[in-house]
Each structure stands twice: as C-alpha cells, then as structure tokens.
Structure 1
Amino acid sequence: MRQKIVHVTEALGGGVLHCVALLANRQAAAGDQVVVLHSMRQDTPPTAKLDQLFDPRVHRQVVDMHTSIGAHDIVSVFRLLIALFRERPDIVHLHSSKAAALGRIAARFLGITAHTIYSPHGFAFLKEDISPLKAKLFLLIERMLHATGGHIVACSKSELRYARMLLLGAERTSLVENAVKLDGFDPGGHRQAGEAVVVCTSARVTYQKAPWRFTRLAQNIAGTSNAHFVWIGDGEADAIDRWIDRDAIQLTGWIPAGDLRRRLLQSDIFVLPSLWEGMPIALIEAQAAGLPAVASRIVGNRDVIVHGVTGFLANDDEQLEHYTRQLIDDAELRQRMGAAATAHARARFGDTQFFRSYVGAYRRLLTPVPGRRLPAVTHTLSHEALK
C-alpha cells in the first residue's frame, strides 16, 4: 500500500534527525511519497548536510517553529495548516513535543487527527532543565492534546510506560523502538591488549548529556589507570569551555557518520551519563559496535542496556566511576559484555524491524477495525514484558 506521508518536526537534530531520516528514506525507497516539514534550529545541520542525509526523493520544506512557547506559535500553526492542506497526506507523523503540539492543533482543524501519529523522542515534561511548574504545564498540555485524538508511538518501553501512566491509559499508544543501520558495524576489529583502554562517549556537548560528569570521571580515573577518554562530538564554545577539561579528555569535534563508527570500533568502553533521554541512538550504535556501556539509570538508557550483561546502569556518580573502573581493569569482562551488546543490538535495533513496524502502525491507522483498539506493541516486546 503506497501512501503520502508527511513528517513534521521542530527538532531536526541529534536523535530526532537520525530517526526521521532513517524512516523517511526507507519509506521513499519503498515507493511512498514522503515530505518532511521542519524548522532550522541551532543543532540542525546546514542544508547541504541535510541533502546528504536524506534520499533525494524525500521533499523537505522549512516551516518556522520555535522551541519556546509564545505568540509565534499561532503563526506556526497557521503555516502548518497551509502546508498540510496543500499536501493532503494519508499519514501525518509528528516528531518531538513542540511539533506534536502545533501539528495536532493543525490536524484537529483539518479533521485528520485519526491519521496522525506522534513520536515524542523524549517527553518534554521529563526534562531536568525546567522547573517543576513548567514540567506540570507540559504534562497538562500533553494530556489535553492527546484527548483531541491521534496515536502516540513511544520509542522505548519506559517512554511507553510514561505515556500510559500519565496520559490516562493505553488507549492510542504503542511502541516502536529506535533503530540504527547495522551495516558498517564489525566489532571484530578491536584493538590489541596492552594498549590504553579508550573510554568514549558520543554526543553534542549540552546540559542534557551532563558533560561535567564525564569530565569528572576522566579526571578521577585518567591519572590512576591505563585509560584514555574521548568525547566524540562538538558543541557551543561556551559549553565546551565550561564543562570539558581538554587536559583529561580528547574532543574530536563533529565527524561524519562513517568516521564516528570507526571511532567507536577503535574504543573499548562507552559511557553515557545523561540526565534524560528518549532512547539514545548513540548508545544503540555503541552497543552495535560491541562496546560494553556504563550509563545513567534513566528512561531510554535502561531500555537499551541489559544491566550486568551488555553493560551497567549507574544510579549516581560513584557507581558510574565504579563500573567504569571495573571494565577498565577487566579485559575479559569487556570482551564478554561487548559480544553480548552486539548480539543484543542486532536482535532488537535493526532498521528493517523499525521500518516494518511503522508500516504496520500506519496500515492500522488507515484501515481501522470498528470496535478494536490498536495493538499496544508493534514489535519486540509483549504486553507482559511491560509489567
């Protein structure tokens, strides 16, 4: 069944960009007509880079949307109304909380909420850089907009739990886990014993990723063990100056996807001490590359790592350092967990599963069965596994 799909996102950067491009490209290759309506944020790559990331059959259009709440949102809704009216999509797929808010209002005016999907990629009310009052406001907005219609597709088991617990039940919620293209990951080429153990992370230097925690870890460990710390990524100059100790950490700056995979394959341990996540693509890539991981025990991270099998989940900085030291000091443990991480990633997080799951989700929206709820889970996890 070929269809016209319009993706809408205000946050075309990081993990959201990865998922939108992965899905849109697969859809275009399958013969669907695909449009991406997006804004240009600080973390959005330039147009030339976006042209490289997206299949040329995917049509992109810039629609001005802002992260902050304000009167400008009225203009954004009007622009989305016009764009969606012109495109006349079979499916509207909204990505990130702000685009979902604006898009669901526009879809409501057009009478197409029944064919609207929302992928949060991390609910805004779970962010740690906002006040409790603002978090309650975001949650209230989510509840109000969900009541108007549409279907939420969570990217992780934990995100699905929050959707069901806080948005009043399982009605119109399901799960499709994030994914990566697994080709290019060959963990058989790890470095030889005796070399310095490379501890890396992969992210933009932002508050969400808690770079000061990675810096503190490097400062505490680097001088007492045979370890080298690498931050794969870039960030704003003031954020780097504030949170990254270049004497303790090598900062690579932005590198292409192919180089990123090579750097992961040249590393030994992956650390992700972030404060909140949806379901981090960087962590999935690291697991696919055969890296045992140490990550903060939060939504998203705990859905990728099998604690004690593919890596460790840390409750605090003390545990983060303890588990990282344990992996640095035990090459056999690194090898065993790395092999388990690769097998786990290949079984759960491939792009073919990702694409097929969304094909099923879209089909159910286009051909609803009277009196039947949409399935709670599209793949990988049974209802019992969510308990």
Structure 2
Amino acid sequence: MQQKILHVTEALGGGVLHCVVLLANRQVTAGDDVVVLHSLRHDTPPSAKLDELFDPRVRRQLVDMRTSIGAHDIASVFRLMIELFHERPDIVHLHSSKAAALGRIATLLLGISARTIYSPHGFAFLKEDISSLQAKLFLLIERMLHATGGHIVACSKSELRYARMLLLHADRTSLIENAVKVDEFESDGSRPVGEKLVVCTSARVTYQKAPWRFTRLAQRLAAKSNVSFTWFGDGEADAVSRWIDCDAIHLSGWISAQDLRRRLRQCDIFVLPSLWEGMPIALIEAQTAGLPAIASRVVGNRDVIVHGVTGFLVNNDEELEHYTRQLIDDAPLRERMGAAASAHARARFSDAQLFRSYVAIHRRLLPPRAYRVPARTHALPRRVLK
C-alpha cells in the first residue's frame, strides 16, 4: 500500500546517511511517496553526491537543525511543523538524537506523535566523550520525549535492551538491525594473494573510532614485514595529524562505496576498536565481504560479531594485539572465520529484510484506512533544496 513517509535527520552523514538512503530508496521503489528533511553538517556530502545516492523520486528539503542546544531550536521546531503540516505524512521517521528531539516536539504539537518512528543510531547518553552530568541530562530528555508517544526502533539488540531498561514504555520499542545491499558484494569467496597481509578499518577519523588504538596496533606489528595497515576514509586535518601515524598506516582518503567494497575484498583482517557504536555499517560490510573482524566489545560491535566464529571481541589493547597476531599467523583460521562471517552477514543483514520489517511496523502504527490506494504511475517529483 502506498504511504507518504517523511524522514527527518540532523546528521545526514556516515552510518545515518547509509541507513536513510537504503530505506528511502527501497520505499520509493515500492511505490511510497518519500521526503527527506535534513540539515547540513561538516560530514554531509555535497548536494551532487546526495543526488547520486538517493533515487531521483526521493525529495530532499533543507531544514536548519543544529547539534548545539539553544534558542535556534525553537525556530527549527516551527520549521518542522510547517513542513509536516504541508506534507501531511502518514509516517514520520526521525533519525539521530537531535532531529528526534525536535521532531517529537513538532509531531506532539501537531497531534501526530503516534505515527512517529525514532531510530537513535546510537543513543546520545551512551557517548564516551561527554560528562556524566551530560549523559544523565540526555537520558532524562530521552525519557521525557519517549513518554509523549511514538515508537523507538533500535538498530541492535544491545540498543534495544538499553531502550527497554532505561526509557520505559517497552511496548513502544522494536528491533530492526542495520543492513547492507548484500547483492553488491562479491560472493565467490576468492581473495587475491599478495605479498603482504592487509589489516584494515573503515571510518571517519574521529574520537569515537579510537584511531590511536589502530595506530598503536600498526606500530607494534610494524616489525612483521608481511603485514600492512590501511585506514579507508579520512577526517579533519588536526584529527589525522594527532592520531594517525602515516608512516605505519596508509590513509586512503574518501572513496566511493563501490570502491570500498572492491578494496575490502583485497584485505585480510578488519579491525574496529571504537569507543561506542549504534550498529556499525562498516563492520557489517567487512563481514559481508568475508573478512574476519576484531572489534571492541561495545554496544553494536558485540551484536554483529559472533565471538570465536566470525571474529573476536576485545576488552583492551592487549587483547586487540593478541587476536590480530593470531589471525595474522593462522591462515586456515582467517579463511574459516571469513567464510563464516560472510555467510552470517548475508543471512542476517540484508536490505530486503530491513524493508519488510519496517513495513510491518508501519502497519502496526497506521489504521487500515490510513493506507492509500497505489497510483497507476509514480511521477518523478521535482527535487527542491532550500
């Protein structure tokens, strides 16, 4: 059944961008009318790049939503209310904490909070770069906003546990795990044989990803002449100079998703020592590509890796080095874990499964009369950017 779905996100970059693109494109292909309201941040791709990522039938609209808290948030709420009133969506899907806060206030004032979905992509109160007082404040805000109505969709089992344990109203929480387009990954199981093993990671160079841990690992294993380290991605110049040793690590710079998938197939081991996560797309992609992974035992990472089967979960730098050495030295183990990782990821993290799960939630939130009769044709709407 055709619906009008409005996605709202302040953070249209990284994993949030991946999820919004994946879901919006599937929905518009199924005949839904899809609109994306988003703001611009330092990690938001240029408009031309967004045009390439989104199906042309997905309409995008700019709404100023700043990460900082201030009087400007009042203007953002009113702008969202105007857009919601104009679009009259059947479902409002909020992504990331700030957009969810503003969006839930706007939908409450318009009386449509019952038809609101919130995907945290990692709760703000779980961040490691904020004070304990800030964490408590963010948790209090989440509780107050969740009490107003709407449905939380966690992207990992760990995130769902936190939602049900800390936010109350467990009946308005569900689990839909993050996904990738599994058909875009090669499935022949072959990997080119090179002179060196390649240990890689994929992320923006930020505090969250603990790049100094990856750097220390590369420096400690530099004596192994058969191993090289690659970081797929880039970051702010000061972050790169502070945390990345370019003598020990090859920094690829920004590369396309297609190029990343190809280059992952040329690697041997994936490492993700992050401090916190929602459910990392990069880790799912690496596992789908057939890479055994070693990751910190935090929310999200521990929901992707099956410890001892598709990779290893670690608690500290010593365990990180130990398991990396183990995989470097044991080729049969790398092969077994890589094959298990690919099979597990393809069965569990497909975009088709993601889409079906959201359709089921939409049907729960909307009465039968809210479904629209599909149109005979689906004209291409004009993309408007303000």
Q: TM-score range by the shorter chain?
A: over 0.9
2:182 maps to 182
1:33 maps to 33
Residue 171 of structure 1, CA deviation = 2.0
1:101 maps to 101
Instruction: Quote the Cα distance in structure 2 between the aligned partners of 1:52 and 1:16.
Output: 16
Matched ranges for 1:67-216 at <5 A: 67-187=67-187, 188-192=189-193, 195-216=195-216
Deviates most, 167-176 or 182-191: 182-191
2:291 maps to 291
1:4 maps to 4
1:94-121 CA-to-partner distances (Å, cap 9, x unmatched) read 0001100000000000000010000000
SS at match of 2:117: strand
1:322 maps to 322
1:380 maps to none
For residue 58 of structure 1, what is the amino acid of its counterpart? V
Pair 1:258 & 2:258 matched = yes
1:58 maps to 58
2:377 maps to none
Instruction: Quote the Cα distance in structure 1 between the aligned partners of 2:325 and 2:202.
Output: 19
SS at match of 1:37: strand
Residue 70 of structure 1, CA deviation = 1.1
SS at match of 1:180: coil
SS at match of 1:171: helix
1:19-65 CA-to-partner distances (Å, cap 9, x unmatched) read 00000000000100000000011000000000000000000001000
Instruction: Quote the Cα distance in structure 1 between the aligned partners of 2:11 and 2:223.
Output: 39
Give the structure-2-normalised TM-score. 0.94
1:332-375 CA-to-partner distances (Å, cap 9, x unmatched) read 0000000000000011000000011001111110038xxxxxxx
Instruction: Quote the Cα distance in structure 2 between the aligned partners of 1:117 and 1:245.
Output: 42
Identity of aligned residues (%): 81
Instruction: Quote the Cα distance in structure 1 between the aligned partners of 2:151 and 2:162.
Output: 14
Residue 269 of structure 1, CA deviation = 0.3
Residue 183 of structure 1, CA deviation = 1.7
1:279 maps to 279
1:204-243 CA-to-partner distances (Å, cap 9, x unmatched) read 1011111011000000012235210000001111110110
Residue 170 of structure 1, CA deviation = 1.4
For residue 270 of structure 1, what is the amino acid of its counterpart? F
Residue 169 of structure 1, CA deviation = 4.6
SS at match of 2:41: coil
When the two chains are superposed, the root-mean-square deviation of aligned CA atoms in Å is 0.9
Residue 191 of structure 1, CA deviation = 2.1
Residue 71 of structure 1, CA deviation = 1.1
Instruction: Quote the Cα distance in structure 1 between the aligned partners of 2:292 and 2:222.
Output: 19
Residue 2 of structure 1, CA deviation = 0.6
For residue 265 of structure 1, what is the amino acid of its counterpart? R
| Number of equivalenced pairs | 367
For residue 53 of structure 1, what is the amino acid of its counterpart? L
Instruction: Quote the Cα distance in structure 2 between the aligned partners of 1:184 and 1:31.
Output: 23
Contact 2:147 2:169 (C-alpha < 8 Å) held by counterparts: no
1:240-286 CA-to-partner distances (Å, cap 9, x unmatched) read 01100000000000001110001100000000000110000000000
Give the structure-1-normalised TM-score. 0.94
